[in-house]
Amino acid sequence: MAARAASMLAAFVIGCTAWRPALISHRNALRAIRTKRLAQPEADEECIAVDDWAVGEFAARCAPMEPSQDLGPGQVVSACFRGLQFVDIPTKNAGLERCHAFMTLGARVAVTAVGRQEENRGVDVFIERGQLSPVLRPFFGASRIDIGELTEIAGTARGSRVGGVEAVGSPMGAMRHPSGIPKDDIALSNAIFAIRLEKQRRPPPRDVWLITDIIDTSCVGSNRPL
């Protein structure tokens, strides 16, 4: 009985010893994979870009087309700029139509560079001019959009609540087909814009957040507060 137990113990020890090199080899292989991933940050960045592309398309499909009292300033910014990223989703020029609905008249005039006359206020004029706008074009087909932390002020001299947020369109912006396939290998520098919003006090519409300014930070002096 004792001899049999000793034999079984010896077999167990031999088995463990035989498996040890394989276990060490497996651990070394995993370590090599982790090291390779760390040495290739561009691979992680590519995965992040793909994830952002999917998130952006889903957001554009679900984004509201009209202002609502239920929407906060951050939701308004996300809806508008995700809509520009996928400007033809869910329908052609839907992203521009949404921006028209979520902007004040002053913001529309700044984007389209046309006057405040009644004939220039329609959505058709906004779409036509918005397609060429240097303020909006950097976000068309952007490979990635980052929306910064919202800064909100409870009230101003007029009693309105205002907010500000930074939106960044990453390289390859405006350089993709609607399918998401890059048109070429030319990379563009990040486009950084400061977005200002205000909660409207007078109807129509009332108590909804609208965009009042879209400011290209590259055109603003560093000493000027946004």
Higher pLDDT, 156 or 220: 220
The per-residue pLDDT for 117 is 85
83-126 tens-digit pLDDT: 999 999 999 999 999 999 999 999 999 999 888 888 788 999 99
For the ranges 13-17, 57-61, 102-106, 200-204, which has the lowest average pLDDT? Answer: 13-17
Average pLDDT, whole number, for the chain? 73
Encoded tokens for 33: 């994979």
The per-residue pLDDT for 65 is 97
CB 142 within 8 A of CB 82: no
The per-residue pLDDT for 50 is 55
158-171 tens-digit pLDDT: 545 666 777 776 65
The per-residue pLDDT for 120 is 80
The per-residue pLDDT for 218 is 80
CA distance to 90, 172, 174, per residue, from 188 (Å): 26, 6, 9
37-50 tens-digit pLDDT: 333 334 344 444 45
The per-residue pLDDT for 189 is 72
Domains present along the chain, CATH in parentheses: 43-219 (3.10.450)
- The per-residue DSSP string of 146-196 comes to EE---EEES--TTS--EEEEEEEEPTTTT-B-TTS-BSSS---PPEEEEEE
* Buried b / exposed e along 189-219 (16+ C-beta atoms within 10 A): eebbbbbbbbbbeeeeeeebbbbbbbbeeee
The per-residue pLDDT for 163 is 66
